[in-house]
Structure 1
Amino acid sequence: MPGVGNPTRVRLWDIPTRIVHWSLAVLVPFAWWSAEQHDMERHRAAGYVILGLLIFRLIWGFIGSSTARFSGFVRGPAKVLSYARGKGDDAAPGHNPLGGWSVIAMILLLLTQVGLGLFASDTDGLESGPLSYMVSFETATTLADRHETMFNVLAAIIALHIAAVLFYLFVRRDNLITPMIGGARIYDVAPAVPPTMASLGRAAVAALAAAGIAWWVSQGLPLPA
Protein backbone atom coordinates (compact mmCIF):
# COMPACT_ATOMS: atom_id res chain seq x y z
CA MET A 1 0.00 0.00 0.00
CA PRO A 2 1.17 3.58 -0.63
CA GLY A 3 2.95 5.16 2.28
CA VAL A 4 6.16 6.64 3.54
CA GLY A 5 9.14 5.56 1.44
CA ASN A 6 6.93 4.06 -1.23
CA PRO A 7 6.68 6.53 -4.16
CA THR A 8 3.19 6.71 -5.58
CA ARG A 9 2.04 7.95 -8.98
CA VAL A 10 -0.96 10.22 -8.50
CA ARG A 11 -3.11 11.58 -11.30
CA LEU A 12 -3.02 15.32 -10.69
CA TRP A 13 -4.26 17.26 -13.72
CA ASP A 14 -7.13 16.19 -15.96
CA ILE A 15 -7.03 16.37 -19.75
CA PRO A 16 -9.28 19.47 -20.09
CA THR A 17 -7.15 21.49 -17.66
CA ARG A 18 -3.99 20.57 -19.54
CA ILE A 19 -5.55 21.37 -22.91
CA VAL A 20 -6.60 24.83 -21.69
CA HIS A 21 -3.17 25.50 -20.17
CA TRP A 22 -1.12 24.60 -23.24
CA SER A 23 -3.61 26.10 -25.70
CA LEU A 24 -3.32 29.45 -23.93
CA ALA A 25 0.48 29.07 -23.89
CA VAL A 26 0.37 28.89 -27.70
CA LEU A 27 -2.52 31.23 -28.50
CA VAL A 28 -1.47 34.24 -26.41
CA PRO A 29 1.91 34.60 -28.17
CA PHE A 30 0.18 33.93 -31.49
CA ALA A 31 -2.37 36.69 -30.81
CA TRP A 32 0.49 39.09 -30.07
CA TRP A 33 2.40 38.03 -33.19
CA SER A 34 -0.63 38.33 -35.48
CA ALA A 35 -1.31 41.84 -34.17
CA GLU A 36 2.32 42.80 -34.79
CA GLN A 37 1.93 41.51 -38.35
CA HIS A 38 -1.30 43.51 -38.74
CA ASP A 39 -3.10 40.25 -39.46
CA MET A 40 -6.25 41.25 -37.62
CA GLU A 41 -8.35 38.40 -38.99
CA ARG A 42 -6.14 35.82 -37.29
CA HIS A 43 -5.72 38.10 -34.26
CA ARG A 44 -9.48 38.22 -33.74
CA ALA A 45 -9.83 34.48 -34.33
CA ALA A 46 -7.18 33.79 -31.68
CA GLY A 47 -8.98 36.15 -29.31
CA TYR A 48 -12.30 34.35 -29.75
CA VAL A 49 -10.68 30.97 -29.09
CA ILE A 50 -8.96 32.39 -26.01
CA LEU A 51 -12.32 33.72 -24.83
CA GLY A 52 -13.86 30.27 -25.26
CA LEU A 53 -11.01 28.67 -23.31
CA LEU A 54 -11.38 31.18 -20.49
CA ILE A 55 -15.13 30.66 -20.28
CA PHE A 56 -14.55 26.91 -20.16
CA ARG A 57 -11.95 27.36 -17.42
CA LEU A 58 -14.40 29.42 -15.37
CA ILE A 59 -17.05 26.73 -15.72
CA TRP A 60 -14.49 24.00 -15.02
CA GLY A 61 -13.45 25.87 -11.91
CA PHE A 62 -16.82 24.96 -10.41
CA ILE A 63 -17.69 21.57 -11.89
CA GLY A 64 -14.30 20.12 -12.86
CA SER A 65 -11.81 17.84 -11.15
CA SER A 66 -10.87 18.61 -7.55
CA THR A 67 -7.49 20.12 -8.50
CA ALA A 68 -9.16 22.33 -11.14
CA ARG A 69 -11.88 23.71 -8.87
CA PHE A 70 -11.34 27.17 -7.42
CA SER A 71 -12.47 25.88 -4.05
CA GLY A 72 -9.61 23.39 -4.22
CA PHE A 73 -6.76 25.87 -4.60
CA VAL A 74 -7.86 29.41 -3.70
CA ARG A 75 -6.66 29.97 -0.14
CA GLY A 76 -7.11 32.83 2.31
CA PRO A 77 -4.42 35.40 3.22
CA ALA A 78 -3.29 33.44 6.29
CA LYS A 79 -2.51 30.28 4.33
CA VAL A 80 -0.82 32.24 1.54
CA LEU A 81 1.36 34.09 4.03
CA SER A 82 2.19 30.88 5.88
CA TYR A 83 3.24 29.21 2.61
CA ALA A 84 5.31 32.24 1.59
CA ARG A 85 7.16 31.95 4.92
CA GLY A 86 7.98 28.33 4.18
CA LYS A 87 5.48 26.86 6.60
CA GLY A 88 3.02 25.58 4.00
CA ASP A 89 2.44 22.00 2.91
CA ASP A 90 4.36 21.42 -0.35
CA ALA A 91 2.91 17.90 -0.65
CA ALA A 92 -0.68 19.06 -1.04
CA PRO A 93 -1.94 17.97 -4.48
CA GLY A 94 -2.59 20.68 -7.03
CA HIS A 95 -1.68 24.36 -6.89
CA ASN A 96 0.09 25.66 -3.82
CA PRO A 97 -1.47 28.76 -2.13
CA LEU A 98 0.68 31.20 -4.13
CA GLY A 99 0.20 29.29 -7.36
CA GLY A 100 -3.55 29.28 -6.87
CA TRP A 101 -3.73 33.03 -6.76
CA SER A 102 -1.41 33.30 -9.76
CA VAL A 103 -3.96 31.24 -11.71
CA ILE A 104 -6.73 33.62 -10.67
CA ALA A 105 -4.61 36.63 -11.63
CA MET A 106 -3.83 35.13 -15.03
CA ILE A 107 -7.48 34.36 -15.76
CA LEU A 108 -8.60 37.86 -14.74
CA LEU A 109 -5.89 39.56 -16.80
CA LEU A 110 -6.69 37.47 -19.85
CA LEU A 111 -10.41 38.17 -19.49
CA THR A 112 -9.64 41.87 -19.20
CA GLN A 113 -7.39 41.77 -22.25
CA VAL A 114 -9.95 39.94 -24.36
CA GLY A 115 -12.76 42.15 -23.04
CA LEU A 116 -10.91 45.32 -24.05
CA GLY A 117 -10.37 43.89 -27.53
CA LEU A 118 -14.07 43.12 -27.93
CA PHE A 119 -14.98 46.79 -27.45
CA ALA A 120 -11.93 48.33 -29.18
CA SER A 121 -11.69 50.15 -32.48
CA ASP A 122 -8.74 51.64 -34.34
CA THR A 123 -8.60 55.35 -35.12
CA ASP A 124 -9.74 54.75 -38.70
CA GLY A 125 -12.70 52.67 -37.64
CA LEU A 126 -11.61 49.92 -40.03
CA GLU A 127 -10.74 47.31 -37.42
CA SER A 128 -13.24 46.98 -34.61
CA GLY A 129 -14.21 44.45 -32.01
CA PRO A 130 -17.67 42.88 -32.32
CA LEU A 131 -19.00 44.85 -29.33
CA SER A 132 -17.49 48.23 -30.24
CA TYR A 133 -20.91 49.42 -31.42
CA MET A 134 -22.02 49.42 -27.78
CA VAL A 135 -19.70 52.30 -26.85
CA SER A 136 -18.83 55.63 -28.41
CA PHE A 137 -16.11 55.79 -31.06
CA GLU A 138 -13.92 57.83 -28.68
CA THR A 139 -14.32 55.20 -25.97
CA ALA A 140 -13.62 52.39 -28.46
CA THR A 141 -10.34 53.97 -29.57
CA THR A 142 -9.34 54.57 -25.95
CA LEU A 143 -10.03 50.91 -25.18
CA ALA A 144 -7.83 49.95 -28.13
CA ASP A 145 -4.97 51.84 -26.48
CA ARG A 146 -5.72 50.11 -23.18
CA HIS A 147 -5.76 46.78 -25.01
CA GLU A 148 -2.17 47.36 -26.14
CA THR A 149 -1.06 48.61 -22.73
CA MET A 150 -2.69 45.72 -20.88
CA PHE A 151 -0.71 43.25 -22.94
CA ASN A 152 2.49 44.62 -21.40
CA VAL A 153 1.08 43.87 -17.95
CA LEU A 154 0.00 40.41 -19.11
CA ALA A 155 3.45 39.75 -20.60
CA ALA A 156 5.08 40.70 -17.28
CA ILE A 157 2.81 38.29 -15.37
CA ILE A 158 3.55 35.52 -17.86
CA ALA A 159 7.28 36.16 -17.48
CA LEU A 160 6.87 36.00 -13.69
CA HIS A 161 4.96 32.74 -14.03
CA ILE A 162 7.72 31.20 -16.17
CA ALA A 163 10.36 32.45 -13.74
CA ALA A 164 8.48 30.84 -10.84
CA VAL A 165 8.26 27.52 -12.68
CA LEU A 166 12.00 27.63 -13.40
CA PHE A 167 12.73 28.56 -9.77
CA TYR A 168 10.81 25.51 -8.58
CA LEU A 169 12.56 23.34 -11.16
CA PHE A 170 16.18 24.38 -10.57
CA VAL A 171 16.20 25.72 -7.01
CA ARG A 172 13.56 23.71 -5.19
CA ARG A 173 14.00 20.64 -7.42
CA ASP A 174 10.26 20.46 -7.93
CA ASN A 175 9.26 19.72 -11.53
CA LEU A 176 5.91 21.40 -12.22
CA ILE A 177 6.16 21.02 -15.99
CA THR A 178 6.04 17.25 -16.41
CA PRO A 179 2.78 16.80 -14.44
CA MET A 180 1.13 19.49 -16.58
CA ILE A 181 2.17 17.52 -19.66
CA GLY A 182 1.41 13.96 -18.59
CA GLY A 183 -1.14 14.69 -15.90
CA ALA A 184 0.48 12.67 -13.10
CA ARG A 185 3.05 13.29 -10.39
CA ILE A 186 5.17 10.99 -8.24
CA TYR A 187 4.74 11.54 -4.50
CA ASP A 188 7.06 10.13 -1.87
CA VAL A 189 4.04 10.10 0.41
CA ALA A 190 0.64 9.63 -1.17
CA PRO A 191 -1.80 12.51 -0.48
CA ALA A 192 -4.21 11.75 2.34
CA VAL A 193 -7.07 12.72 0.01
CA PRO A 194 -6.21 11.83 -3.62
CA PRO A 195 -7.54 14.18 -6.32
CA THR A 196 -10.80 13.18 -7.97
CA MET A 197 -11.14 13.52 -11.74
CA ALA A 198 -14.32 14.80 -13.40
CA SER A 199 -15.70 12.89 -16.38
CA LEU A 200 -14.89 13.85 -19.97
CA GLY A 201 -18.64 13.91 -20.61
CA ARG A 202 -18.97 16.76 -18.14
CA ALA A 203 -16.05 18.49 -19.87
CA ALA A 204 -17.77 18.10 -23.25
CA VAL A 205 -20.92 19.81 -21.97
CA ALA A 206 -18.83 22.65 -20.50
CA ALA A 207 -16.87 22.96 -23.76
CA LEU A 208 -20.07 23.20 -25.83
CA ALA A 209 -21.44 25.87 -23.52
CA ALA A 210 -18.18 27.84 -23.63
CA ALA A 211 -17.94 27.58 -27.41
CA GLY A 212 -21.55 28.72 -27.79
CA ILE A 213 -21.04 31.76 -25.57
CA ALA A 214 -17.78 32.72 -27.30
CA TRP A 215 -19.42 32.40 -30.72
CA TRP A 216 -22.38 34.51 -29.60
CA VAL A 217 -20.05 37.22 -28.36
CA SER A 218 -18.02 37.09 -31.58
CA GLN A 219 -21.21 37.80 -33.51
CA GLY A 220 -21.84 40.98 -31.56
CA LEU A 221 -24.47 39.56 -29.21
CA PRO A 222 -27.32 39.57 -31.77
CA LEU A 223 -30.75 39.93 -30.23
CA PRO A 224 -33.49 37.39 -31.03
CA ALA A 225 -35.69 38.45 -33.91
Structure 2
Amino acid sequence: MTNKRVFIWDLPTRIFHWALVLCVIGAVISGQIGGNLMEWHGKLGLAVVGLIAFRLVWGLLGSTYARFCQFFPTQGKVLAYLKGQWQGHGHNPLGAFSVFGLLALLAFQVGSGLFANDDIAFNGPMQALVGKDLSDVLTGWHKLASNVLIALVVLHIGAIMFYAHVKKDNLVKPMITGWKDNAEGESARGGGVLALVLAIAVAAAAVYGASGAWVPAPPPPPPAAETPNW
Protein backbone atom coordinates (compact mmCIF):
# COMPACT_ATOMS: atom_id res chain seq x y z
CA MET A 1 0.00 0.00 0.00
CA THR A 2 1.39 3.39 -1.03
CA ASN A 3 1.84 5.91 1.76
CA LYS A 4 0.25 9.06 0.38
CA ARG A 5 1.52 12.41 1.53
CA VAL A 6 1.10 16.09 0.75
CA PHE A 7 3.78 18.80 0.63
CA ILE A 8 2.51 21.60 2.87
CA TRP A 9 5.24 23.84 4.25
CA ASP A 10 7.87 25.29 1.91
CA LEU A 11 11.45 25.78 3.11
CA PRO A 12 11.20 29.57 3.70
CA THR A 13 8.13 29.05 5.90
CA ARG A 14 9.89 26.38 7.93
CA ILE A 15 13.03 28.48 8.36
CA PHE A 16 10.88 31.44 9.41
CA HIS A 17 8.99 29.34 11.95
CA TRP A 18 12.00 27.86 13.73
CA ALA A 19 14.01 31.08 13.56
CA LEU A 20 11.09 32.87 15.20
CA VAL A 21 10.90 30.19 17.90
CA LEU A 22 14.59 30.61 18.73
CA CYS A 23 14.46 34.41 18.66
CA VAL A 24 11.38 34.61 20.89
CA ILE A 25 12.88 32.17 23.42
CA GLY A 26 16.14 34.11 23.45
CA ALA A 27 14.37 37.47 23.74
CA VAL A 28 12.19 36.32 26.65
CA ILE A 29 15.14 34.83 28.55
CA SER A 30 17.44 37.81 27.96
CA GLY A 31 14.67 40.23 28.89
CA GLN A 32 13.95 38.40 32.13
CA ILE A 33 17.62 38.24 33.14
CA GLY A 34 18.45 41.77 32.00
CA GLY A 35 21.86 43.26 32.71
CA ASN A 36 24.43 42.72 29.98
CA LEU A 37 22.00 40.46 28.13
CA MET A 38 19.82 43.46 27.25
CA GLU A 39 22.10 44.11 24.30
CA TRP A 40 21.20 40.66 22.97
CA HIS A 41 17.56 41.31 23.84
CA GLY A 42 17.63 44.30 21.51
CA LYS A 43 19.37 42.38 18.72
CA LEU A 44 16.88 39.52 18.95
CA GLY A 45 14.05 42.04 18.85
CA LEU A 46 15.41 43.44 15.59
CA ALA A 47 15.63 39.90 14.23
CA VAL A 48 11.94 39.42 15.07
CA VAL A 49 11.15 42.65 13.20
CA GLY A 50 12.79 41.20 10.11
CA LEU A 51 11.05 37.85 10.51
CA ILE A 52 7.61 39.43 10.86
CA ALA A 53 8.21 41.63 7.81
CA PHE A 54 9.30 38.56 5.87
CA ARG A 55 6.21 36.61 6.94
CA LEU A 56 3.86 39.42 5.94
CA VAL A 57 5.25 39.42 2.41
CA TRP A 58 5.44 35.63 2.27
CA GLY A 59 1.85 35.48 3.46
CA LEU A 60 0.89 37.27 0.24
CA LEU A 61 3.38 35.82 -2.25
CA GLY A 62 4.47 32.52 -0.71
CA SER A 63 3.37 29.01 -1.56
CA THR A 64 -0.20 27.75 -1.23
CA TYR A 65 -0.53 26.95 2.47
CA ALA A 66 1.68 29.83 3.61
CA ARG A 67 -0.65 32.44 2.13
CA PHE A 68 -2.96 34.26 4.52
CA CYS A 69 -5.90 33.94 2.14
CA GLN A 70 -5.55 30.16 2.32
CA PHE A 71 -6.13 29.87 6.07
CA PHE A 72 -7.88 33.11 7.04
CA PRO A 73 -10.52 32.02 9.59
CA THR A 74 -13.81 33.00 7.97
CA GLN A 75 -17.08 32.31 9.77
CA GLY A 76 -17.88 29.47 7.40
CA LYS A 77 -14.53 27.78 7.98
CA VAL A 78 -14.78 28.10 11.75
CA LEU A 79 -18.32 26.67 11.86
CA ALA A 80 -17.31 23.81 9.58
CA TYR A 81 -14.33 23.04 11.80
CA LEU A 82 -16.43 23.06 14.97
CA LYS A 83 -18.87 20.66 13.33
CA GLY A 84 -16.03 18.37 12.28
CA GLN A 85 -16.67 19.10 8.60
CA TRP A 86 -13.56 21.12 7.76
CA GLN A 87 -11.23 19.42 5.32
CA GLY A 88 -7.90 20.96 4.50
CA HIS A 89 -4.19 21.15 5.15
CA GLY A 90 -1.97 23.69 6.83
CA HIS A 91 -3.40 25.84 9.60
CA ASN A 92 -6.94 24.88 10.60
CA PRO A 93 -9.40 27.74 11.34
CA LEU A 94 -8.72 27.75 15.09
CA GLY A 95 -4.98 27.48 14.53
CA ALA A 96 -5.25 30.48 12.21
CA PHE A 97 -6.48 32.59 15.13
CA SER A 98 -3.35 31.59 17.02
CA VAL A 99 -1.11 32.49 14.08
CA PHE A 100 -2.62 35.93 13.54
CA GLY A 101 -2.78 36.59 17.28
CA LEU A 102 0.88 35.72 17.81
CA LEU A 103 2.00 37.80 14.82
CA ALA A 104 -0.01 40.80 16.03
CA LEU A 105 1.28 40.50 19.59
CA LEU A 106 4.88 40.07 18.43
CA ALA A 107 4.52 43.12 16.20
CA PHE A 108 3.31 45.11 19.21
CA GLN A 109 6.14 43.74 21.34
CA VAL A 110 8.93 44.69 18.98
CA GLY A 111 7.21 47.97 18.12
CA SER A 112 7.00 49.05 21.76
CA GLY A 113 10.48 47.70 22.44
CA LEU A 114 11.98 50.08 19.89
CA PHE A 115 11.05 52.99 22.17
CA ALA A 116 11.53 51.30 25.56
CA ASN A 117 14.23 51.72 28.20
CA ASP A 118 15.34 49.88 31.33
CA ASP A 119 16.19 52.99 33.40
CA ILE A 120 19.79 51.78 33.64
CA ALA A 121 21.84 51.46 30.48
CA PHE A 122 19.57 50.14 27.72
CA ASN A 123 17.45 52.27 25.41
CA GLY A 124 15.52 51.08 22.39
CA PRO A 125 17.03 52.23 19.09
CA MET A 126 14.33 54.89 18.63
CA GLN A 127 13.76 55.86 22.25
CA ALA A 128 15.17 59.33 21.64
CA LEU A 129 12.32 60.09 19.24
CA VAL A 130 9.60 59.94 21.90
CA GLY A 131 11.16 61.26 25.09
CA LYS A 132 11.47 59.69 28.52
CA ASP A 133 7.83 59.96 29.66
CA LEU A 134 6.30 58.21 26.65
CA SER A 135 9.19 55.75 26.63
CA ASP A 136 8.34 54.78 30.21
CA VAL A 137 4.69 54.18 29.23
CA LEU A 138 5.71 52.01 26.27
CA THR A 139 8.15 50.14 28.50
CA GLY A 140 5.30 49.27 30.85
CA TRP A 141 3.17 48.02 27.98
CA HIS A 142 6.14 46.08 26.62
CA LYS A 143 6.61 44.27 29.94
CA LEU A 144 2.88 43.58 30.32
CA ALA A 145 2.57 42.23 26.79
CA SER A 146 5.52 39.90 27.39
CA ASN A 147 3.41 38.05 29.97
CA VAL A 148 0.56 37.76 27.47
CA LEU A 149 3.04 36.47 24.90
CA ILE A 150 4.30 33.78 27.26
CA ALA A 151 0.71 32.71 27.95
CA LEU A 152 -0.09 32.48 24.22
CA VAL A 153 3.06 30.47 23.56
CA VAL A 154 2.14 28.03 26.35
CA LEU A 155 -1.38 27.75 24.90
CA HIS A 156 0.10 27.16 21.45
CA ILE A 157 2.34 24.38 22.74
CA GLY A 158 -0.60 22.87 24.62
CA ALA A 159 -2.66 22.78 21.42
CA ILE A 160 0.18 21.03 19.58
CA MET A 161 0.40 18.41 22.33
CA PHE A 162 -3.39 17.95 22.27
CA TYR A 163 -3.33 17.28 18.55
CA ALA A 164 -0.41 14.89 18.89
CA HIS A 165 -1.79 12.79 21.76
CA VAL A 166 -5.57 13.08 21.38
CA LYS A 167 -6.17 13.59 17.68
CA LYS A 168 -3.04 11.65 16.65
CA ASP A 169 -2.07 14.46 14.31
CA ASN A 170 1.62 15.37 14.44
CA LEU A 171 1.84 19.08 13.62
CA VAL A 172 5.56 19.38 14.33
CA LYS A 173 6.91 16.89 11.79
CA PRO A 174 5.47 18.68 8.72
CA MET A 175 7.03 21.92 9.99
CA ILE A 176 10.39 20.12 9.92
CA THR A 177 10.14 18.06 6.74
CA GLY A 178 7.48 20.02 4.88
CA TRP A 179 5.45 16.85 4.24
CA LYS A 180 2.25 15.61 5.86
CA ASP A 181 2.08 11.81 5.80
CA ASN A 182 -1.04 9.71 5.29
CA ALA A 183 -2.84 12.57 3.61
CA GLU A 184 -4.44 13.33 0.28
CA GLY A 185 -4.77 16.63 -1.48
CA GLU A 186 -2.90 19.17 -3.53
CA SER A 187 0.70 19.90 -2.62
CA ALA A 188 1.82 23.49 -2.11
CA ARG A 189 2.78 25.48 -5.17
CA GLY A 190 4.10 28.97 -5.79
CA GLY A 191 6.43 31.11 -3.75
CA GLY A 192 9.22 31.30 -6.30
CA VAL A 193 12.62 32.94 -6.25
CA LEU A 194 11.37 36.45 -7.05
CA ALA A 195 8.87 36.31 -4.19
CA LEU A 196 11.61 35.10 -1.84
CA VAL A 197 14.01 37.86 -2.90
CA LEU A 198 11.31 40.49 -2.40
CA ALA A 199 10.42 39.13 1.04
CA ILE A 200 14.07 39.13 2.11
CA ALA A 201 14.54 42.68 0.78
CA VAL A 202 11.51 43.94 2.71
CA ALA A 203 12.76 42.16 5.85
CA ALA A 204 16.20 43.77 5.51
CA ALA A 205 14.63 47.21 5.01
CA ALA A 206 12.45 46.69 8.09
CA VAL A 207 15.46 45.76 10.22
CA TYR A 208 17.37 48.81 9.00
CA GLY A 209 14.43 51.09 9.74
CA ALA A 210 13.90 49.60 13.19
CA SER A 211 17.60 49.74 14.05
CA GLY A 212 17.45 53.52 14.29
CA ALA A 213 20.56 53.87 12.13
CA TRP A 214 18.81 56.70 10.29
CA VAL A 215 17.97 58.61 13.49
CA PRO A 216 20.21 61.70 13.85
CA ALA A 217 22.70 61.45 16.67
CA PRO A 218 21.93 63.69 19.66
CA PRO A 219 23.94 66.91 19.76
CA PRO A 220 27.10 66.77 21.85
CA PRO A 221 26.90 68.32 25.32
CA PRO A 222 28.09 71.91 25.59
CA PRO A 223 31.73 72.30 26.57
CA ALA A 224 32.41 72.76 30.24
CA ALA A 225 33.15 76.27 31.35
CA GLU A 226 36.82 76.94 31.82
CA THR A 227 37.93 77.15 35.42
CA PRO A 228 39.83 80.34 36.14
CA ASN A 229 43.47 79.64 36.87
CA TRP A 230 44.18 81.51 40.09
Report the TM-score when normalising by structure 1: 0.88
1:186-201 paired onto structure 2 within 5 Å: 186-188=181-183, 190-191=184-185, 193-201=186-194
Secondary structure at 2:180 match in 1:
strand
1:69-148 paired onto structure 2 within 5 Å: 69-89=67-87, 92-124=88-120, 126-148=121-143
Provide the C-alpha distance between the structure 1 equivalents of 2:126 and 2:82, rounded to a whole number of angstroms. Answer: 41
Is 2:163 the partner of 1:173?
Answer: no
1:201 deviation in Å? 4.4
Which deviates more from structure 2 when the two are superposed, residues 201-210 or residues 14-23?
Answer: 201-210
1:1-80 paired onto structure 2 within 5 Å: 6-38=2-34, 39-80=37-78
* 8 Å CA contact retained: 2:58, 2:191: no
Q: Percent identity?
A: 38
Provide the C-alpha distance between the structure 1 equivalents of 2:113 and 2:82, rounded to a whole number of angstroms. Answer: 35
Q: Match of 1:216?
A: 209
Provide the C-alpha distance between the structure 2 equivalents of 1:200 and 1:99, rounded to a whole number of angstroms. Answer: 28
Amino acid at match of 1:53: L
Amino acid at match of 1:16: P
Return 5+ residue gaps in structure 2 as ranges. 217-230
Provide the C-alpha distance between the structure 1 equivalents of 2:53 and 2:195, rounded to a whole number of angstroms. Answer: 15
- Computing the radius of gyration from Cα coordinates, the structure with the larger value is 2
Q: Which runs of 4+ in 1 moved over 6 A?
A: none
Secondary structure at 1:174 match in 2:
coil
Is 2:150 the partner of 1:152?
Answer: no
Aligned match for 2:179, one of 184, 188, 192: 184
Provide the C-alpha distance between the structure 1 equivalents of 2:191 and 2:77, rounded to a whole number of angstroms. Answer: 26
* 8 Å CA contact retained: 2:8, 2:89: yes
Give RMSD over aligned pairs: 1.8
Is 2:199 the partner of 1:203?
Answer: no
Secondary structure at 1:93 match in 2:
coil
1:220 deviation in Å? 5.0
Provide the C-alpha distance between the structure 2 equivalents of 1:100 and 1:148, rounded to a whole number of angstroms. Answer: 25
1:120 deviation in Å? 1.1
Secondary structure at 1:216 match in 2:
helix
Is 2:159 the partner of 1:164?
Answer: yes
Give CA-to-partner distance per residue, 1:42-84, whole Å, 9 cap, x none.
1100000011001000010101111111001102123213312
Return 5+ residue gaps in structure 1 as ranges. none
Secondary structure at 1:10 match in 2:
strand
Provide the C-alpha distance between the structure 1 equivalents of 2:82 and 2:135, rounded to a whole number of angstroms. Answer: 41
1:33 deviation in Å? 1.4
